[in-house]
Structures are given as C-alpha cells and as structure tokens.
Structure 1
Amino acid sequence: MSRRVAARAHSMLEAMSASFAIAVDIGGTKVEAALVDENGAVLAGSRHRAPTGPERSAEELAASVRSALGGVLALIGPDTAVSPERIAGVGIGAAGPVNLVDSRVSPLNMPVWDDYPLSALVADTVHPVVPGVPVTLRLDGLCITLAEHWVGAASGHDNVMGMIVSTGVGGGLILGGRTVPGPTGNAGHIGHVEIGGHEDACPCGGSGCLEAVASGPRTVAWANAEGWVGGTGEELAAAVAAGDPIALRAVARSGRAIGRAIASAASLVDLDIVAIGGGFSHVSPLLFEHARAAVAERATFGYVTRVQVVPSALSGEGPLIGAAALIHRAEMVD
C-alpha cells in the first residue's frame, strides 16, 4: 500500500470513529444545525437551516428549530454512518439575552420568545434519537469567541473578544484562557454598550447602543435617512465599492462606533485580540479601518491600542463551530 493510500485510509478511519457535537445556532434571520467533529470541522451534508425573524410566532420559531434539527437527526442512527454513541452532546448558541439559570432565552429580535425554554425544546427534539446527551446553552457571541479561539483568527491568544456584526451586534469574552459568561450568561454582550455622541433608540430600552448604531439594518436605515436609496447590506456594500458618498459615510459611522466600543472593552478587561464576524462585517474593509482608527485614538493607553482588530477566519461556519465548542471544549466553558 502506498503512503498516499495509507494516509487516506487512516483519515477515513479517523472520520468513522470521530465524535460529534450537534451544533445549533439561532439568530434573528435563521436557525442552523449541523454535526461538528472534535477538530472543529462541519460534517459535509449535515448543515440544515430554517427561517426565524420577528414576524414569526413563538410556535413558528419552535417549528423552525425542530426542522433544522430534524435534518441533522435524520443522519443519526444504528444503520447510518453516525451512530447515537458518537454524539457527545448538543451545543446551542442563541441571540440574547439568555438566562443560564433556567436555560431560557429572550432574544431582542424575536420578542415573542420572551423567557422561552429553548434548551427544553432542543432536548425534547434530540433525546428521542440520542437519549440523555447533555444540552449546553450559551450566548451566540460567546460561541463565536470560542470558535475563533479554537480554530479561527484568535488561535494562540487567551484574552479574546469575539464579535458578531449582523442583524444585531453581539459578543463574548475569553479571559485567561476561559470563557466569561457572567452569572446570567450575558457577559460580553457588547452590542448594548452605549457609544458617546449617538442617541439612536435601541430595543433594549437604552439609546446610543452599539447595536442601534452599527448593526446592518441600522446602518442601512441611517443611510436611507441621509438620502441613499437601497434596502440591504449587500446593496450598501456595492454602493461603498462604487464610491457613493452617503454609503461611505454610513460605513465610517458604524466602523467608528465599533472601534469605540472595542476601545472601551479593552480599557476594562485588557484584550489581546478582537475577531469580528457576521454578515455585515463583510460590507467593506473600510469598516475595519475605521474601527482600528477609533481604537488608535486612545494613544495614551498602550494596553488599549495594542489590541488587534481582525476579521473572523471562519466564514459562515463560525457560529456552528462555536456552538460545538461548548461540547468539544467543555473544559474552557464556565
């Protein structure tokens, strides 16, 4: 047997014996579920999604979760490639706020799920197929931070903030090599840090919150108010690339707000690196340039300006990998 054939056979045997986490990511536009192995790789063909959103009822949202999970659970069984014994647990990353004491969620972008028993819903769906496996819930921002620390842009750093800039703005913290969820599970939720100089109303009840200023929908809305005609982050990205002055100002405004929030967080907890993902983070490289420039304004504080602000290295799989890390890297999870 040649070395190449032997290596391929060894890789196949490893895949056949790998353990998997069922990863679930629940956000303001969709829920996704997949099988993720102990190396942070999403199993090909296991990724399933269903729509969410503020226009759906509580039961419609629950049906979407069951639908996404159903696609994954169909791959698990005694006569399939993934036996129930190979499932190590279920990790859930959810938009916040979360309530870890009771395993419930109250996502701002889905208000009908106020204090909703999400872990129970997932457990009731999964346990008939994989009896008794643990179900772990954490804020989606914490999950993306775990993913970046594990196999992404923050690998090798132990003082990390991960951020999601998308329909909302979320975040999470790893300090000293361990997650910092806080007593309720909401530590690191940087989207609701207030940014000086802004009065934009936020669904949380505050004003000038980072999410109210710099999320994709809020940035588009600000550009519309200034006279730009367009309806999506993708259209805004195209306008930025074409040099539209209003679109450029909109991205600059959001980027500066992100940078100010990062500088505040670095001042408080002394970070090495901030990794930013989420759909709107791809609007333009200028978003990162403006964020870094805002951090650099804290010139007197070298421990703040040293923080690296980088894009996520995990593309669209990051939230699922982070949810799986709740199981595969449980030793880091407080």
Structure 2
Amino acid sequence: MTVLAVDIGGTKFAAAAVAPDGEMLARTEVPLRGPESAGRTLSEVVRRITDRVAPDRLDGIGVGSAGPLDPRRGRVSPVNIPTWRDFPLVDALGETLPGRPVRLAGDAQCMALGEWWRGLTGPVPDGPAGRSRAMLGMVVSTGVGGGLVLDGVPYVGPTGNAGHIGHITVDPGGEPCPCGGVGCVETIASGPGMVRWAAANGWTGADARALAADARAGHPTAVRAFERAAGALATAVLTASALFDLDDVVVGGGVAAAGPILFDPLRRAIGRNTGLGFLRRLRVEPTSLGRDAGLFGAAALVLLQGGA
C-alpha cells in the first residue's frame, strides 16, 4: 500500500507519496499565497504528486491540517486560513482520487505521529519497540499546535481536536488570540506573536526569520522575544507533562528551526520550574524529521492506524 500524504499549514501546503516502509517516492511543497488561494494550492500539490506517481498506485490519502477540525464530518476551519470555515477537506481530496479512503487529523497530531513512527528518540525503558510511550509533538510556527501519541496511538479526543497546546492560557491579562481566548501560548510564542512584541519594544526588523538572526547576534530585544516565547512554551510543556506523564516533547515548525536561541532558554525555563520528580525525566528535542514529520504522520494515519 502506497499512500498520498498531505500536510496543510498556515503558510505552505506539502504532499508526498509514501510507501509502507516510510520511503518517500515523491514530495512537493507549495507556499500559500494568501488565504484565497488555498483551494488552488491544494489542487496543485496533489497534481504534482500524481504527475510523478500514477494515481492507481495510491491506495489511500492521509491528511494533517491546521485546526480546528471536525474529523467525523471531514471538515476543517484553520485559524490562519479564514477562507476555509467548515471546509469539506476530506471530500475535496476524495474527488482527486475517487474511491480511496481519506483519513484526517490535526497537523501537529500528524507531526507527533510522524516523529513516533519514523524519527524520535533513543530507547525508553519499557517503551514499545524502544519508542516513547507518551509523546507530545509541538509545531511552533505561524501558530502553535500540538499532538499526543500515547502507546503508539494518536490521541485525538472526542472531537478530534486534542493537543491544542497553543491555546492553553499562560497570561490571563495578555493579548486576545485569534481563537477567541486571551493570553494563549500562541500569542507569545508563534512567529507573528514574537514579531509583534519585538516591534512594540523598538525592534525594527521585518519578520521572524530576521528576529532569529538578530537574536543570534545578541540584539537584546530579539533575545528577550525568544526568552518570552520559551517561557510560555515551558509552561505549556510542563502542564501537559503533569497531565500525561510524558516521556518526550518533540518541537518542530519554522520558529523551532531557530535552534539553540529557542531551545536553550526553553530547557532552562523547564529546569527552573520542574517540581514533581517524575517530570525530571522529560526529554525536549527538536524534530528529527524537519519539514517531513507531518507528511510521515499523515501517511501513518492510513498505513499504521487505519483511521484517525
């Protein structure tokens, strides 16, 4: 069985043909040029794969999408794609490969499952096949998302939206969040949130990539923006770890790609605030699969799980 994997993010769409052993037979990625182009972008990434891998070789479709989402109805309402509200994503993909099953989960849920399946950690005592028994995957990028894999199964919750760690409130007096909450992790630790704060405090750069470069160079406001983000993420990580007794947290996404300027203060903040003894074994690492983690996870929805 070879499957079409699709990863729907706030700034780009990606797709791949993935074999049962995890080999990517073809891969493509297309930037999202404004929310109004989402439908065209989806069609383009699928077409690029079916131009390279014959459609009759593709036995199913796995898709990870930014949320919120409704897997039961196959619909999505990504916060950062306002033109998609209650969008019938499963039906749209089903039309591209008629008769194939389509499995849907959150993009960060797929990132977590992909890391569990094809990447991740060294041996964990008593873990299945040496893998983490309880893992949180986080995507820190345009937004902040998360997904849980517990004993090898993605935990999606009754509505399919478990793992929305970016919408834990960490600053009750903070900024309004696009989700409707206040002071969410996403308002502080997402790329746009960091840039907004830095600009309000005198930084004059253009975007999150420039902010990361300035932080590496020691610009005090840029450094502080990453420290604030790390503090918010640490609070969310420790909250989730206390609830789910996590072995591992794996962090991906564009902001996470900044490397030590995020991970060093993140680990320091976790170390300062860890109280309960069982939390001290927690490992926090960058994704080992980079931009492919979500695609591997989307494929795994079909190849390993048989459904989300």
TM-score for both structures, normalised by structure 2: 0.93
Partner of 2:128: none
Instruction: State the SS of the aligned residue for 2:61.
Output: strand
Partner of 1:181: 156
Partner of 1:123: 94
User: May I ask how many residue pairs the two structures share in their alignment?
Assistant: 300
* AA at the equivalent of 1:56: P
* AA at the equivalent of 1:122: L
Residues 237 and 284 in structure 1, CA contact (< 8 A), matched pair in contact too: no
Partner of 1:27: 9
Residues 198 and 213 in structure 1, CA contact (< 8 A), matched pair in contact too: no
Instruction: State the SS of the aligned residue for 1:279.
Output: coil
Give CA-to-partner distance per residue, 1:177-198, whole Å, 9 cap, x none: 3211011110011111111465
Written as runs of structure 1 = structure 2, the 5 A alignment for 1:1-334 is 19-43=1-25, 46-52=26-32, 55-57=34-36, 60-77=37-54, 84=56, 86-127=57-98, 132-154=99-121, 156-196=131-171, 199-330=174-305, 334=308
Instruction: State the SS of the aligned residue for 1:254.
Output: helix
The CA deviation at 1:292 is 1.9
Q: Distance in 2 between matches of 1:172 and 1:76?
A: 30
The CA deviation at 1:146 is 0.5
Residues 154 and 160 in structure 1, CA contact (< 8 A), matched pair in contact too: no
Q: Distance in 1 between matches of 2:77 and 2:291?
A: 24
Q: Distance in 2 between matches of 1:191 and 1:313?
A: 21
Could you list the structure 1 runs, at least 4 aligned residues long, displaced by more than 4 angstroms after superposition: none
* AA at the equivalent of 2:93: V
Q: Distance in 2 between matches of 1:171 and 1:265?
A: 10
Q: Distance in 2 between matches of 1:278 and 1:62?
A: 23
Residues 21 and 90 in structure 1, CA contact (< 8 A), matched pair in contact too: yes
Residues 154 and 275 in structure 1, CA contact (< 8 A), matched pair in contact too: no
* AA at the equivalent of 1:185: G
Residues 115 and 288 in structure 2, CA contact (< 8 A), matched pair in contact too: yes
* AA at the equivalent of 2:257: H
Structure showing greater radius of gyration is: 1
* AA at the equivalent of 1:153: L
Residues 112 and 293 in structure 2, CA contact (< 8 A), matched pair in contact too: no
Unaligned runs of 5+ in 2: 123-130
* AA at the equivalent of 2:119: G
Q: Distance in 2 between matches of 1:204 and 1:99?
A: 16
Q: Distance in 1 between matches of 2:173 and 2:203?
A: 20
Residues 134 and 247 in structure 2, CA contact (< 8 A), matched pair in contact too: yes
Instruction: State the SS of the aligned residue for 1:319.
Output: helix
* AA at the equivalent of 1:305: R
Residues 153 and 311 in structure 1, CA contact (< 8 A), matched pair in contact too: no
Q: In structure 2, do the counterparts of structure 1 residues 251 and 198 end up closer, same or farther at CA, with 3 Å as the change threshold?
A: farther
Partner of 1:10: none
* AA at the equivalent of 2:63: I
Q: Distance in 1 between matches of 2:172 and 2:261?
A: 21
The CA deviation at 1:276 is 0.3
Unaligned runs of 5+ in 1: 1-18, 78-82
Residues 171 and 182 in structure 2, CA contact (< 8 A), matched pair in contact too: no
Instruction: State the SS of the aligned residue for 1:186.
Output: coil
Greater mean deviation of Cα atoms: 63-72 or 284-293: 284-293
TM-score for both structures, normalised by structure 1: 0.86
Partner of 1:3: none
Instruction: State the SS of the aligned residue for 2:64.
Output: strand
Residues 88 and 327 in structure 1, CA contact (< 8 A), matched pair in contact too: no
